[in-house]
Amino acid sequence: MPSVSTNYAIDTYTSALDLPDTVWESFAAFPRDSNVMYPHALKARRDEQEGRLTKGLWIVCTSTNLLSSPSVDFVLSCTDGPLGSYPVFIFTPIPPSCLDSEYVHPRLEALARALLAAIPSHRVFSVFAPDAITLMFTSLWTDLTGVLLDPEPRYYAAKITYCTKRSFRPRQTSIFPDVEYTLRLAREDDISGVAELCLGFARESEPFVLSEEGAQREASTLVQNSNVWVHEIWRRGQQSEIASIVAVTRTSDTVAAITKVYTNLRWRKRGCAERLTREVTKHLLKTKDSVVLYVAHNNPAAAKVYNRVGFVGIGPESESVEGVDSWLELGFDRKQVQLGHW
């Protein structure tokens, strides 16, 4: 941890092309921790290089002292996705155990002031970052803007975990003898089935629910971009249907993220989610160093599934693993903000 007396600077960017090399180097050095924003920034930079307009905001806190080169402390992103505005994401290369409040507080306060200078306060509907950062930043934002936290502010509390070639666990899961299945990338003719499961996933992801039209739009985007895999299943002599989906929507050079796993209620307790997650993870590890995902603290069943696939630090008796940290999303009063979707 740098000394508290280290000087710092706050810089605001509305173009990914303008982000300095120090930011890209920090993203690349910590591709799992920065996964919430790194792939989006890469896509925005590609779009801008090819002449397409993008809309995004990145605020960077950089520390300097006389003995070393400038270092990135925090990057805050405020960007949009295909279905609406994303939460405010905050990435730091500083390990959570080293987040000293005396060092962090003035930097987060400066980030909050820069954010308010760049956008209206109602744009910030939630914040997602490592626990301590989320708690401190949302408190500072309320003090600065008067926008209160939602009466039930804990939108998402989860661990980030990862699987590598070394931790991956190949395993053949059994299935009931009356059914057959295939695991594959989704096709155009799967969109309605994928939309059904996107709708089910959203219903369990309050407040980010979707209309049927929104679910159809999300499914179309996922399928057209080859971002979703399906577990197709059928009873002999009957028509097939999609039992599970696994979406992969944030990918950088070395890391891919599984961002959505959901199983049709009619096909649960047959190992579908584990089977498909293992297949997708195996495929991704052919070209990536690791696969990341977030698993909610209140979903031990999912944690067991991911642990059996090889995701580390989340098993019932798992020891602490470096890089497996707790992240928190807190939301603001929906009467005072415009809710987005992610």
DSSP-derived secondary structure for 21-55: HHHHHHHHHSTTTTTTTHHHHHHHHHHHHTT----
In a domain, 304, yes or no: no
Q: Are 214 and 132 in the same domain?
A: no
pTM (2 d.p.): 0.95
Same-domain check for residues 145 and 35: yes
Could you tell me what percent of the chain has a pLDDT over 90? 89
Give the model's pLDDT for residue 5. Answer: 54
- Domain shared by 127 and 243, yes or no: no
Average pLDDT of every residue of the chain: 95
Please indicate, yes or no, whether residues 16 and 147 belong to a single structural domain of this protein: yes
Q: Would 99 be classed as within a structural domain?
A: yes
Does 164 reside within a domain? no
3-state helix, strand, coil in the chain (%, to 5): 35, 30, 35
pLDDT value, residue 4: 53
Residue 313 within a domain: no
Residue 277 structural domain: 169-284
Work out whether strand 290-296 and strand 255-263 pair parallel, antiparallel, or are unpaired. parallel
- Provide the pLDDT for residue 175: 74
Question: In angstroms, rounded to a whole number, what is the distance separating the alpha carbons of residues 334 and 329?
Answer: 14
- Shared-domain flag, residues 226 and 184: yes
Are 20 and 127 found together in one domain?
yes
In a domain, 41, yes or no: yes
Within a domain: 297: no
42 with 96, same domain: the answer is yes
For residues 86 and 204, state if they share a domain: no
Let me know if residue 279 belongs to a domain: yes
Do 134 and 29 belong to one domain? Answer: yes
DSSP state of 82: T
Question: Residues 28, 32, 33, 36: is their CA dihedral positive or negative?
Answer: positive
Residues 144 and 106 in one domain: yes
Q: Which residues of the chain have pLDDT under 50?
A: none
Is residue 310 assigned to a domain? no
Q: Which two tokens stand for residue 30?
A: 């910590």
One-letter identity of residue 254: T
Residues 236 and 184 in one domain: yes
If asked whether residues 134 and 50 sit together in one domain, one would say: yes
Q: How many structural domains does the chain have?
A: 2
Q: Which of residues 269, 284, 299 is at a domain's end?
A: 284
Phi, psi values for residue 190, rounded to 5°: -95, -5
**For position 57, which CATH number holds?**
3.40.630
